[in-house]
Structure 1
Amino acid sequence: MKWKKNLMLIFMLLAGVIVGALLAKVTADMPILSWLSYGNSIGIDVANPMILDLSVLKLAFGFEFGINIAQIICVILSIFMYKGLVNRL
Structure 2
Amino acid sequence: MREIKKNRIGLLCLLVFMGAISGTLVGEILGSKFEVLSFMESTYSLGFSKPLYLDLGILKITFSLIFDINIMTIIGIILVVVLYKRL
Q: TM-score, normalised by structure 2?
A: 0.73
Unaligned runs of 5+ in 1: none
Instruction: Give the count of matched residue pairs.
Output: 83
Same amino acid, percent of matched pairs:
34
1:63-82 to structure 2, matched below 5 A, reads 63-82=65-84
Q: Which position in structure 2 is the counterpart of 1:60?
A: 62
Moved over 6 A (4+): none
Change (3 A) 1:82 1:35: same
8 Å contact 1:8–1:82 — kept in the other structure? Answer: no
- Give the superposition deviation at 1:39: 2.2
Say which structure is richer in helix: 2
RMSD over equivalenced CA pairs, Å: 2.2
Between the aligned partners of 2:41 and 2:62, the Cα distance in structure 1 is 30
- Give the superposition deviation at 1:34: 1.8
Change (3 A) 1:21 1:56: same
Give the counterpart letter for 1:77 in structure 2: L
- Residues 1:42 and 2:37 aligned together: no
Provide Cα deviations, 1:3-35, integer angstroms capped at 9, x if missing partner. Answer: 332122112201211111111221221212222
Give the counterpart of 2:18 among 15, 20, 29.
Answer: 15
